Amino acid sequence: MTVTSRRLIGAFLASVLLGAVPGPAPVQAAPALQQVMFVGNNWDGTVDVIRPSGTYARLGRINVVPDRQQRLWEIYLNPVRLAFFLGIRQGPGEGHDQLVDDMYATPDGGALVVSRPSFADVVSVDLRTGAIRWRFPVSGYRSDHMAVSPDGTRVAVSASTSNTVHVLDIDTGAQVGSFATGDKPHENVFTGGGRYLWNMSIGEVNTDLDAPWLDFTKGDRRITVADMTTFQVVRVVDMRQRLDAAGRSDLSDAVRPAVFTPDGSKLYFQVSFFNGFAEYDVATDRITRVRTLPKNPNTSDDRTTWVNDSRHHGLSMSTDGAKVCVAGTMDDYVTVVDRATLQEGPLVTASKPYWATVSGDGRDCVISESGSDRVSAISFATGQRVASVAVGDHPQRVRVGRVPADWTAP
């Protein structure tokens, strides 16, 4: 045996007897991501992925109901669930199933978390394969608006018929907490860097009892603020009292889309049946201004013809807090309002605009035109339309997120 061989054998035996000391594990580089916008096409169960600014060109489409037949079999075999399923179709769905209400991407760009009202659940869809990673059935029979925490680790979802907000781990779908709300919880907004969650309950919006004197039939409508550490309710805001104090007892207290100023000091919100919005000062707990926006003369005055008690539904704010973008849903326009004066800009014609958000570069207000299956961008600077792109059937929520840089639709 040569000297070299003896050395190799000795080294091998030493490694066996003493245990080889492994070297440091190689550092895995985080995958490169690109910013995109997700557009939820409620009636066909798809999400379009588009560029977040500029041309807003469509990059691909994701089927977020790959388990549709399985869910339908479960519903058909349960008479109570079937009754609610058909009620959603004929009520808020306007004759269609509601298959995607809201959606957020996970921070790593690996999955899209989607609330599906007609299936009463939240699912995580793998952005590479299109497969469902996890599913969370909400309490009751309908899921609704969501919100993601600033750090991207939690997602909150309103369970409409059980008056509950569930807060889930975005990666696993496990519930980390929940809290009770007013009737028909709707919009959710994280504040205080994720410490609190504000939930707006809108009450019953699916009946024709829409005359002002029948307002008492709409239920308990209020803002519920919960601590996201303890999940205890720390504040309840009844806008009925605040609106009355501001001399606007004529307005509904059902808070619809809402947006905070960048410093969190003021809340701007829309209410049922109103073509305009209100300004609420958080510190003084009072309504400070109300702005009525123009009516479309072609819009019927019959409240029962307005979708789910909406007149205007959709608000976003420029990143500097200087402009508010308003989707005038039943009046078929969108306008950018100067926040200092509350003076509206040009009324840009849009077909049943249902939501408003801010583009990836902060320059535009992006609206979903649910009546024409398009997404349009309105410049915050000029108030004019700068782009428009075709999407799927009945777009509603639009959210900014990230996908892998080399992403292609599954």
- Would you say residue 45 lies in a domain? yes
pLDDT digits (tens, 9 = 90+) for 132-160: 999 999 999 999 999 999 999 999 999 99
What is the rounded CA–CA span in Å between residue 42 and residue 86?
16
What is the rounded CA–CA span in Å between residue 174 and residue 140?
17
Q: What is the pLDDT of residue 361?
A: 97
Q: What is the DSSP annotation of 92-111?
A: TTTTS-----EEEE-TTSSE
- Would you say residue 23 lies in a domain? no
Q: What is the pLDDT of residue 14?
A: 40
pLDDT digits (tens, 9 = 90+) for 314-345: 999 999 999 999 999 999 999 999 999 999 99
Global pTM exceeds 0.85: yes
How many structural domains comprise the chain? Answer: 1
Instruction: Place 3 in a pLDDT band, splitting at 50, 70 and 90.
Output: very low
- Would you say residue 374 lies in a domain? yes
- Would you say residue 140 lies in a domain? yes
Domain span at 370? 32-404
Residue 299: pLDDT over 80: yes
Higher pLDDT, 16 or 397: 397
Per the DSSP assignment, residues forming a β-bridge with 226 are: 197, 233
Q: What is the pLDDT of residue 52?
A: 97
What is the rounded CA–CA span in Å between residue 317 and residue 359?
11
Q: What is the CATH number of the domain that holds 178?
A: 2.130.10.10
Q: What is the pLDDT of residue 24?
A: 55
Q: Which residues contact 127 (CB under 8 A, 6 or more apart)?
A: 62, 105, 109, 110, 111, 112, 403, 404, 407, 410
- Would you say residue 19 lies in a domain? no
Q: What is the pLDDT of residue 173?
A: 98
**Residue 11, SS3 per DSSP:** helix
- Would you say residue 220 lies in a domain? yes
Residues 352 and 332 sit within 8 Å (Cβ to Cβ) = yes
- Would you say residue 192 lies in a domain? yes
Q: What is the pLDDT of residue 60?
A: 97
- Would you say residue 25 lies in a domain? no
